[in-house]
Amino acid sequence: MRSLWTGVALLVVISAWYDVGRTQPRTDTVVPPAPARHLVFGNPSHATTNPSDADNFLLAKPQFVLSYHNTHGTPNWVSWHLKKSDIGKVERQDTFRPDPELPRQFKHVLPNDYVGSGFDRGHMCNSKDRTQTEADNSATFVMTNMVPQTPDLNRGPWEKLESYARTLVGSGRELSMIAGCSGARTTLRRANTVQVPESCWKVIAVLPRGGNTVAHVESNTRVIAVEMPNTQGIKKKDWRAFLTTARAIEAKTGYDFFSTVPTEIQDQIETRKDTGRARATRTSTRERRRP
């Protein structure tokens, strides 16, 4: 009798064990908790941390999250949340380096691969958005966060939109940003396996302070979407000349932005082209409505 009960107990323990192992999520599709704030609105290309998924490989860092395209040697997209406390006074670290978190068998783009190419090492998650600590700023200089951008794009309208975004944060907003590039223009002279894109795009959701949750996105949430050509001759252009819709970028890239947001709301915020200007504040709206 005693041995029967021991046997039953053993079976219960084993089956419980088996169940735990079975129901545990596959680790290659789980985003580590620390950078979760950068992916609140979804993983637009279903990137995973499985190294066999080399052209859609998820790298999650405390400062930003990205999907790497190993064949192109560039990110597919980089996503980051921006709030006031991310912006500090740290000096630009200029620590361009291969990404140490990339699996060894992957293509490790070197800072020098860009030298003499005529293209800038264009940050996706930009340096000034990560200036609270030296470590945060330095983290933006890994080569997996870089795309070959023309100097006129990088230092022109692309930079102007980055600055504009920080002014929104300065006036009490939080932002959820995602940036990437698409198309194939050429390759780098020194590293002909690194692809130079035809255009770069960015989608920004403008959120209230403390508003980085799905529940904070409503049909009238401001979404700024741009697509800029990766060409010379555009340095003086305003970023607003390149406004488009998130839906147009989805159609072009095949990604799904805001996938965690209800479809009816996606349909509104992704198809409305932003005006490039902040809308009237709540107070002034109420004043206008007054009879």
SS (H, E, C) 83-121: CHHHCCCCCCCCCCECCCCCCCCCCCCCHHHHCCCCCEE
Q: How far is the CB of 253 from Mn ion (least distance, A)?
A: 11
Q: How far is the CB of 161 from Mn ion (least distance, A)?
A: 21
Query: Is 46 an annotated catalytic residue?
Result: no
- The answer to whether 123 and 138 are in contact (CB under 8 A) is no
Q: Determine the Cα–Cα distance for residues 96 and 112; give it in Å rounded to an integer.
A: 9
* Neighbour count for residue 272 (Cβ, 10 Å): 17
Q: How far is the CB of 7 from Mn ion (least distance, A)?
A: 54
Comparing C-alpha atoms, which of 232, 238, 221 is closest to residue 276? 238
Nearer to Mn ion, 160 or 272 (CB): 272
Which helix (H) or strand (E) segment holds residue 174: the answer is strand 173-182
- Contact positions vs Mn ion (CB under 5 A): 256-258, 266
Nearer to Mn ion, 77 or 258 (CB): 258
Q: How far is the CB of 41 from Mn ion (least distance, A)?
A: 9
Which one is catalytic: 81, 108, 123, 216?
123
Q: Determine the Cα–Cα distance for residues 20 and 240; give it in Å rounded to an integer.
A: 52
Half-sphere exposure of 256 (CA within 13 A, CB side): 11
Nearer to Mn ion, 38 or 61 (CB): 38
Nearer to Mn ion, 194 or 226 (CB): 226
Would you please indicate which residues are annotated as catalytic (active-site) residues?
123
